[in-house]
Amino acid sequence: MFFSLKPYFNLLDKLATILKGVPEALHAKLYWAILFVVMMPLLDLALAYWLFVMLMVLQGGTSAVLGVQLGEGSLGITIAVFVLLTLARQGVEYLSIKTTRTLTQDIFQAFSLRLIEKYLSLPWLDYTKETKAIRIKHCTATALDGAYSFQVLFNLIGALVTLIVLGTATVVKVPVLAITGAALMVFFTYTSKSYLKRKLQTAVKGHDYHQKNFYQKLYESFSLSREMKIFQVNPYFLEEINMELNRLSKAKVDLSVFPQIPRIVLELILTLAIALGLLATVVVGNYTSDELIANLATVAILARRIVPAMAMLMSTFTELDGSVMNIALIRKELNQGAERENYYKPVLQHPELLMHLKQVSFGYRPEEMILENVSLDIAQGDRIAVLGPTGRGKSTLLMMAAGFIPPTQGEVLVTPALGKDQLPVAYVPQEVTLLSGSVRDNIRFGQEAFDEALAWQVLAATQLDKFVGELTLGLDTPIGDNGVLFSGGQRQRIGIARALYRQPFLLFLDEATSALDESTELAVMANINQVMGQGAVIFITHRQSTAEQHATKFCRL
Ligand SMILES: Nc1ncnc2c1ncn2[C@@H]1O[C@H](COP(=O)(O)OP(=O)(O)OP(=O)(O)O)[C@@H](O)[C@H]1O
């Protein structure tokens, strides 16, 4: 069928999708923004009308406004009202731009924060399904593109209200012109819509795909800069990034050009229609010369607003498809995965038993079990060495005990105090990642208060006190990107100090001292034993000597 209401329902659906994305705290700002956007065309109408009145008065004629006759003597006041109206219009335009742009930024911030919060609360296995680079891309570029939907929405509302208000005025003033313009717009919308929609959807998908690749390659290149230099492969990777940037730029150009095509064509058609319509009005219309001049000026003002509004309506229709896809992508990201599950069962009643892994099994893939029916008791004061060949599942077991990976079968039973998170659990992974701030930032690690005495105590335990004490800025020394200013062993020890600072009752160390020389490792482990007292330490090591010297129990996989 040539005419169908379906697109309008689709449009309402899209608008609802966009509006549902607004966080509640921003609703008031949203209403203000819409109010200013709607006020603009109303003031435009008032201005166009007042121009007509002013021109009539200026030419010695009269005009009745709200029952008051304005004639030659009212020229001053007529001009003053015109200036006031213009000031009001420009003021509202400024407020409209300011509120819509502020809201768009606020929505970007809200999207970005929600995504970051979501990613950080994902269960470990869900979190590792996607690369960090792509998650960063979603929290920055996708969130920004999604927020831009609101700019499109405001443009759409502004264009619609302008068309309704000023279009009605045009129909009253110059019916032939208005009807010709409306007919042309409807015809053009229907003939070009599906073609442009297809083009734009392809462009949006391409844009997302190449943007992901770009972030991925960039992230990898910066992480691998040393390897790239030593293997002399910078040109290869630069070329790859350049190719991705080329594709991304092309997709970006397509995305911004496609919605403009209907606008350009429509403006051309409408300008011709206005010229023809005005000619017809002058030839056929029955106006006095005063009225004709005033009418022509009014129509010119109306047309100056209506033509861009029509064009804007066309481009926002097309842009809306792309924008909604970004919002849908953000929603998909926000709805993925479950919340991180606390699978600790706080049922252990034995006074000294902190944790009991009861016949736990786990496989990253159902057909390949990594751990099968493993049982382990962790009691107060235990020092447990987890041993086994590489790839056997030691880290997996440690992460399961630390609360990151729920067992496929079996249970992780804990003392009730641990179940309620009253006794802290600390974990140091194989690869320690450090904040780029100071030593203090890394030890405090997000805690407001800072216990300086405790910080020096844990630095002494990890044999870093002398080194940090001799730095010019001491605890406040910046350690660079991921602690680049420290040696590998020093980085590992900052990671351990960070864990000890929490005064944990259960400490999991995944080869956390592997970068230390043997004597430092033995000394640090001895200090950890002392600091941990009645707490339990579960550590993975490939060094027999470390295991023999410090373990009170062994868990062989
Ligand atoms: N996120 C993951 N997804 C799929 N498979 C994984 C994942 N993490 C580890 N694996 C697989 O599980 C097995 C056990 O890995 P794990 O890291 O637990 O071994 P490990 O004993 O600690 O090894 P290593 O001594 O080398 O550190 C390996 O074969 C590894 O390929």
Q: What is the CATH number of the domain that holds 160?
A: 1.20.1560.10
pLDDT value of residue 9: 64
**CA geometry: angle at 58 spanning 52 and 60, to 5°?**
110
Sign of the alpha-carbon dihedral angle for 138, 142, 147, 153: negative
Task: Name the residue with higher pLDDT: 262 or 228.
Answer: 228
Selected residue with higher pLDDT from 220 and 339: 220
For residue 556, the CA-to-ligand 1 centroid distance in Å is 16
How far, in Å, from the CA of 171 to the mean position of ligand 1? 73
Whether residue 368 sits in one domain with residue 319: no
Pocket of ligand 1 (CB under 6 A): 128, 364, 370, 388, 390-396
Going by pLDDT thresholds of 50, 70 and 90, the confidence category of residue 454 is very high
Residue 492: its pLDDT value, please? Answer: 93
Q: How far is CA 148 from CA 4, 106, 108, 316, in A?
A: 29, 11, 8, 12
pLDDT given for residue 8 in this prediction: 60
Highest mean pLDDT among 157-166, 214-223, 492-501: 492-501
pLDDT at 5 over 60: no
Give the residue from 301, 335, 369 where a domain finishes.
335
**What pLDDT, in 10s, does the model give residues 61-89?**
666 666 667 666 777 888 888 899 999 99
What whole-number percentage of the chain has pLDDT above 70? Answer: 90
- Partners of 63 in the beta sheet? 70
Helices 488-501 and 518-532, packing angle to 10 deg: 0
User: For a pocket test of ligand 1, which of 127, 364, 387, 408 has the largest count of ligand atoms closer than 8 A to its C-beta?
Assistant: 364
Shared-domain flag, residues 117 and 248: yes
What's the confidence (pLDDT) of residue 430? 86
Question: From atom 28 of ligand 1, which residue's Cα is the shortest distance away?
Answer: 391
- Evaluate whether residue 218 is within a structural domain: yes
Q: Which of 312, 335, 358 is the last residue of a domain?
A: 335
Structure tokens that stand for 353 in this block: 């038993």
- Atom 16 in ligand 1: residue holding the nearest Cα: 393
Region 364-372 average pLDDT: 88
Distance CA 208, CA 219 (A): 17
Which tens digit of pLDDT belongs to each residue from 157-187?
888 888 888 878 777 777 776 777 777 777 7
What token pair was written down for 229? 């230099």
Higher-pLDDT residue of 537, 263: 537
What is the predicted pLDDT for the residue at 282?
67
Q: Which of 360, 396, 508 to mutate to test the pocket of ligand 1 (most atoms within 8 A of CB)?
A: 396
327 in the same domain as 403: no
pLDDT score of 308? 76
Query: What is the Rg, in whole angstroms, of the alpha carbon atoms belonging to the chain?
Result: 35
Burial class (CB in 10 A: 0-12, 13-18, 19+), 240: middle
For residues 201 and 228, state if they share a domain.
yes
Tell me the helices (H) and strands (E) count for the chain, helix number first: 19, 11
Alpha carbon nearest to ligand 1 atom 31, residue: 391
Predicted local distance difference test score (pLDDT) of residue 422: 55
**Distance between CA atoms of residues 99 and 105, nearest Å:** 10
Are 411 and 538 in a shared domain? yes
Query: Is 380 found in the same domain as 287?
Result: no
Compute, in angstroms, the gap from residue 169 CA to the centroid of ligand 1: 72
Do 258 and 200 meet the contact criterion of CB atoms below 8 Å apart?
Answer: yes
pLDDT band for position 26 (50/70/90)?
A: confident
> Looking at the structure, do residues 522 and 552 belong to the same domain, yes or no?
yes
3-state class of 553 per DSSP?
A: strand
User: What is residue 17's predicted lDDT score, i.e. its pLDDT?
Assistant: 75
Would you say 180 and 272 are in contact if contact means Cβ atoms under 8 Å apart? Answer: no
Residue 420's pLDDT band (boundaries 50, 70, 90)? low
Identify residue 129 by its one-letter amino acid code.
K
3-state secondary structure of 373: strand
Are 295 and 412 in the same domain?
no
Comparing 310 with 469, the larger pLDDT belongs to 469
Identity of the residue numbered 459: L
The rounded Cα 141 to chain-centroid distance in angstroms is 7
Calculate how far, in angstroms, residue 115's C-alpha sits from the geometric centre of ligand 1. Answer: 28
Read off the pLDDT of each residue in 537-555 and give the average, rounded to a whole number.
Answer: 87
Q: What is the pLDDT of residues 94-140, one digit of tens each?
A: 999 999 999 999 999 999 999 999 998 888 889 888 999 999 999 99
The pair of three-digit structure tokens given for residue 527, joined into one six-digit string: 């200090």
Nearest protein Cα to ligand 1, atom 2: 364
Residues 324, 349, single domain; the answer is no
Residue whose CA is closest, atom 24 of ligand 1?
Answer: 390
User: Do 452 and 478 fall within a single domain?
Assistant: yes
Q: Are residues 297 and 361 in the same domain?
A: no
Query: What was the pLDDT predicted at 143?
Result: 92
How far, in Å, CA of 500 to CA of 537, rounded?
11
DSSP calls for 466-487: HHHHHSTTGGG-B--GGGTTS-
Same domain, yes or no, for 327 and 364?
no
Please state the atom number of ligand 1 nearest to the C-alpha of residue 393.
18
Q: What mean pLDDT comes out for the span 250-257?
A: 83
Q: Please, what is the angle between helix 27-58 and helix 75-121, to 10°?
A: 160
Q: Which of 390, 394, 538, 555 to mutate to test the pocket of ligand 1 (most atoms within 8 A of CB)?
A: 394
Lowest mean pLDDT, pick from 134-148, 390-404, 477-491: 477-491
Residue of minimum CA distance from atom 4 in ligand 1: 364
Q: Residue 1's pLDDT band (boundaries 50, 70, 90)?
A: very low
Are the C-beta atoms of 258 and 231 separated by less than 8 Å?
A: no
Going by C-alpha positions, the residue among 389, 391, 386 that lies closest to residue 402 is: 386
Listed in sequence order, the DSSP H helices in 59-174 are: 75-121, 124-127, 132-137, 143-173
Measured in angstroms, how far is the CA atom of residue 363 from the centroid of ligand 1? 10
What pairing do the DSSP bridges indicate for beta strands 371-379 and 68-70?
unpaired
Q: Average pLDDT in the 535-551 region?
A: 87
The domain boundary residue, chosen from 335, 358, 375:
335
Which letter does DSSP use for residue 338 in this model?
A: P
CA of 375 to the centre of ligand 1 (A): 19
User: Average per-residue pLDDT in the chain?
Assistant: 84
Domain housing 219: 109-335
- For residue 119, how far is its CA from the centre of ligand 1 (angstroms)? 22
Confidence (pLDDT) at 7: 58
For residue 116, what are its two tokens? 């970051």
CA 71 to CA 409: how far, in whole Å?
92
Looking at per-residue confidence, does 312 or 460 come out higher?
460
The pLDDT confidence band at residue 2, using thresholds 50, 70 and 90, is very low
Please check the confidence at residue 35 and state whether its pLDDT lies above 80.
yes
CB 347 within 8 A of CB 397: no
Q: In 3-state terms, what secondary structure has residue 41?
A: helix
Whether the per-residue pLDDT at 192 is higher than 80: the answer is no
Look at residue 101 and tell me if it is in a domain: no
How many C-beta neighbours within 10 Å does residue 294 have? 23
Average pLDDT (403-432) is 84
Report the range of poorest mean pLDDT among 107-116, 118-127, 241-250, 342-351.
342-351
Domain count for the chain, please give it. Answer: 2
Query: Which comes out higher in pLDDT, residue 502 or 267?
Result: 502
